Amino acid sequence: MRKSKIATGSVLICIAFLALAFSAAEMHQEVEPVPTVKNIILMIGDGMGYNHVEAASLYRFGRPGGQVYTGFPVALSMSTYSVSGQGYDPQRAWSDFEYVKSGYTDSAAAATAMATGVKTTNWFIGIDPDKQPLKNVANASETAGKATGLVTSVPISHATPAGFSAHNENRYDFEGIASEMLNDSGLDVLMGAGHPDYDDDGVETVDPKEYRYVGGAELWLAIKGGKAGGDCDGDGEPDPWKLVETREDILSLREGAAPKRVLALARVHRTFQQRRGTPDGNAADDLPYQVPLNKGIPTLAEMTSAALNVLDEDPDGFFLMIEGGAIDWAAEHNESGRLVEEQIDFDRAVEAVIEWVEQNSNWDETILIVTADHEAGYLLGPDSDPEWKPLVDNGKDKLPGMEWHSTSHTNSLVPLYAKGRSAVLLEKYADETDPVRGRYVDNTEIAKVIFASIGKSEQQ
């Protein structure tokens, strides 16, 4: 039977349509869809460079590469410079020993870059160089219906947590930043130090008290009275913070039903442990754990586990940033022993996250990124300058041979490790190469990967 012109035309149209479909499929294969995930966890070792990680591994395990995250499927480096800096020149970084000592970022600009995908000026929190407010990954997570949280081992209003929740041209306006975080943010969990009623040794103080880290005396009284906190879920009703202070109460949050909104302030002022027993302000001569740890203070791992249990109540998932904030403080003071302590505390928090993922989630629906905001202290092996010498392995539970070359930040590349289905996006951004560290991404690309993992375009 002869086919009609209409039938023949229909066949041709179908063939043409299929050809277009196959062509589109081929294009689709070339540009794979972005894998969105349920839970996004970003862990930032403030000031953590490659040798900080290695020093802790040598002490704890007696060998380099002992931390579980160093074996993650994605292992890259990351540039950290801000608008205030000079960019990063990989050739000069390894031909001129002094090069990385200038042009470095501060924690405010670095946090803003990782939170928003936009580089800004040092000291700026959540705003661009023109002082315009930026939307961050926590905001995007909330828009997507996810819970959000921030955990740190330093005051809750310090630069790194502030970069994910506040907008201010002065990172040291702690009172203003804390007020915005506590009254205006959509955060469900905020945990860290900065308690106005305790000193750096966890001893209760009478007077004078410093309320700046918690937004001032008036706001602190409102928090204690259960009357502080704006509308975090958009239902038009205030959502007051549930204040949790003791280690026992924080530990109790790790299992079972949890309050809707938690502010956990460890009963210590500036850091969980790093400033303990330092009336002269420095512990450079102390060996790791030589000075007894503050009692009654949770570890970063314990706070992390508590935060995870609160946030995973949300069926849409969550975004959580966890900062080992005092790695930087120990490094800037060139405190080798305290540096090892703080790095190990951070490493154990990473282990707590991995345990949570493998017991309560999976690597298809959760991404974990472990990185730093910048390197601090220019930590190297003995007898460095003008060459870069490795750390000396003195055995397990022995302080490695190390040498500090700065009391500030550097513009060095920092390590980046990631695991989870959308972690592959980081590999796609790693389009630059360092002669020593290999392929690297820029810190703004952390935000780009997180926005994509949420299913949002940048600054959407």
Q: How far is CA 2 from the centre of its chain?
A: 70
Range of the domain at 330: 35-454
Whether 20 is in a domain gets the answer no
d(CA 219, CA 178): 9
Q: Are 270 and 210 in contact (CB under 8 A)?
A: no
Which of helix, strand or coil describes residue 422? helix
d(CA 85, CA 396): 38
Which of helix, strand or coil describes residue 218? helix
Q: How far is CA 447 from CA 106, 308, 369, 428, in A?
A: 17, 21, 11, 14
d(CA 70, CA 61): 13
pLDDT recorded at residue 32: 52
d(CA 143, CA 58): 43
One-letter amino acid of 10: S
Whether 278 is in a domain gets the answer yes
Task: With residue 419 as reference, give the H or E element that holds it.
Answer: strand 414-419
Cα-flanking dihedrals φ and ψ of residue 297, to 5°? -110, 130
Whether 9 is in a domain gets the answer no
CATH number at residue 91: 3.40.720.10
Q: Which residues contact 229 (CB under 8 A, 6 or more apart)?
A: 182, 183, 238, 239, 240, 241, 261
pLDDT recorded at residue 279: 76
Sign of the Cα pseudo-torsion (234, 175, 116, 130, in order)? positive
Q: How far is CA 240 from the centre of its chain?
A: 25
> What pLDDT, in 10s, does the model give residues 54-82?
999 999 999 999 999 999 999 999 999 99
Whether 92 is in a domain gets the answer yes
Whether 11 is in a domain gets the answer no
Q: How far is CA 42 from CA 37, 102, 108, 154, 371, in A?
A: 13, 27, 16, 17, 8
Q: Looking at residue 78, what DSSP letter applies?
A: E
Whether 23 is in a domain gets the answer no
> What pLDDT, in 10s, does the model give residues 175-191?
999 999 999 999 999 99
Task: Take residue 407 and report the two structure tokens written for it.
Answer: 């009391």
Record the pTM. 0.92
Into how many domains does the chain fold?
Answer: 1
pLDDT recorded at residue 14: 35
Whether 10 is in a domain gets the answer no
Q: In this structure, are strands 242-244 and 262-265 parallel, antiparallel, or unpaired?
A: parallel
The segments of the chain whose pLDDT lies below 70 read 1-34, 280-281, 457-460
Checking phi first, is residue 438 left (phi over 0); if not, alpha (psi -120 to 50) or beta? left
Task: With residue 320 as reference, give the H or E element that holds it.
Answer: strand 318-324
pLDDT recorded at residue 459: 57
d(CA 283, CA 274): 9
pLDDT recorded at residue 244: 98
Q: In this structure, are strands 409-410 and 375-376 parallel, antiparallel, or unpaired?
A: antiparallel
pLDDT recorded at residue 34: 62
What are residue 410's DSSP bridge partners?
Answer: 375
Whether 131 is in a domain gets the answer yes
